[in-house]
Amino acid sequence: MKLDVDVLRYLSKDDFRVLTAVELGMRNHEIVPTELIDRIARLKHGGTYKVLKNLLKHKLLHHDSSKYDGFRLTYLGYDYLAIKTMVNKGVFVGVGRQIGVGKESDIFEVLCEDGTVLAMKLHRLGRVSFRAVKSKRDYLRHRSSYNWLYLSRLAALKEFAFMKALETHSFPVPKAVEHNRHCVVMSLVQGYPLVQVKQLQNPEVVFETILGIVVRLAEHGLIHCDFNEFNIMIDDDEKITMIDFPQMVSVSHRNAQMYFDRDVECIFKFFRKRFNLSFQESIDDNDGSNEEKDEDGRPCFSEIERSAGFLDKELAASGFTRKDEEDIQRFIEGGEEADNSDSEGDDSAEDLNESNLLPDEEHENKGKHESCEAGESVASEKEDATDENEKEENEMEDEAELNKSLNKQRQRAIAATRRGRKSLASRNSYKDKGGRSSHSSKLQKQLSGW
């Protein structure tokens, strides 16, 4: 759907209030009943149905009356909610032209108050070109039901988190500015997609830089999974910037080696076809590099060491399990114990020497003091455990009450719609069944017969 922001300036507070009410109702409704929208919006002077009609005219909502009378948000309505929130926060003040279209997102230019131009990415999962999200992405995890708006929101959140983390570790990525719902605002990359470049001054240097980024990501515990010429930007100075991060996975993923080899193969294939590179010569010239490579010059996934960090743990990347987290904790604790083993041995020897010099009374006092401290620590641990149990019980009770109230609201809305349908049907059928008018008509017929 084409984004037309001209209507945005003419929408009132009531319009956005009703849009937000539909969004809240879609948490547990595929189609939100009209009565529930009216109850959530709580407009001061009423008029919810008039506002719904206006939003439906601008295609911000979709009407469905197959089971009951209700509405759901469209992607255009979701865009308006995200853009309105960004404008209220002061992130940008205007939306410009569209600069990119993908199978799962649209990219627009936005203007800040100080005149700088940023890029706004709107995720649009569910297009005909990309609907196999459940099999190709891990956004759902343990969930069985979903809608496309919620999946787009998860994709935007994941991309913003990856972009922030990679930026802090000095990876060549756009600067993440802000995100809201399915919208991500980032710095505008002054360059071109690598697929549009026909000639390079130093193709060997660019090739080695791109290959080094893939290896560095693996050393930090991540694999891009879509690292090709369409997701690599290059400027006039041949500086590389990588984009598109929602599909990144951990090196602990069961298909990690396949994804890594596929990324490397995409790079080799592109540079071989486009720039006619002979990779063996360029690799022989750089024998001093630290990258582990096979005989044909490709990096070997099994020989890459995760010495740079654990970004997959920090970001909970796909494929990173709790078992992997426990292994990392053991590794870290083992390294700390090895580093502090000598100092601990010296400290223990000094403590033994000092204890031998103490008299018997001091030994007794010391034993009493230690026993008191042990008793206090046990008591404090018990208190902490009881507090945690009470908190968990309170949270469970709150969730149960919330679910009950939501179910009651849904049942009331469905019952109200059914009542309305019965009343409409009763108006049109069974008119004057056994009433006075039928009795008078019978009398008139009898008189006319006489």
The C-alpha atoms of residue 85 and residue 26 are separated, in whole angstroms, by 19
- Residue 247 DSSP label: T
Of 184, 14, 151, 157, nearest in space to 85 by CA: 184
The residues, ordered by sequence, that sit 6+ positions from 450 with a Cβ below 8 Å of its Cβ are none
Q: At what angle do helices 48-57 and 13-25 cross, to 10 degrees?
A: 90
* Number of residues that make up the chain: 450
Catalytic residue among 226, 244, 263, 312: 226
- Residue 9 DSSP label: G
> What DSSP letter does each residue of 371-431 carry, written as one string?
HHHHHHHHHHHHHHHHHHHHHHHHHHHHHHHHHHHHHHHHHHHHHHHHHHHHHHHHHHSST
Radius of gyration in angstroms for the set of CA atoms belonging to the chain, rounded to a whole number: 33
Three-state DSSP class for 222? strand
The C-alpha atoms of residue 167 and residue 169 are separated, in whole angstroms, by 5
The C-alpha atoms of residue 404 and residue 408 are separated, in whole angstroms, by 6
Would residue 226 show up in a list of annotated catalytic residues for this protein? yes
The one-letter amino acid at 40: I
> What DSSP letter does each residue of 271-334 carry, written as one string?
HHHHH---HHHHHHHTTT----B-TTSPBPGGG----S--HHHHHT-BT--HHHHHHHHHHHHH
- Residue 66 DSSP label: S
> What DSSP letter does each residue of 96-143 carry, written as one string?
EEEEEE-SSEEEEEEE-TTS-EEEEEEE-TT-TT---HHHH--SSTT-
Q: What element of type H or E holds 30?
A: none
Active-site positions read 226
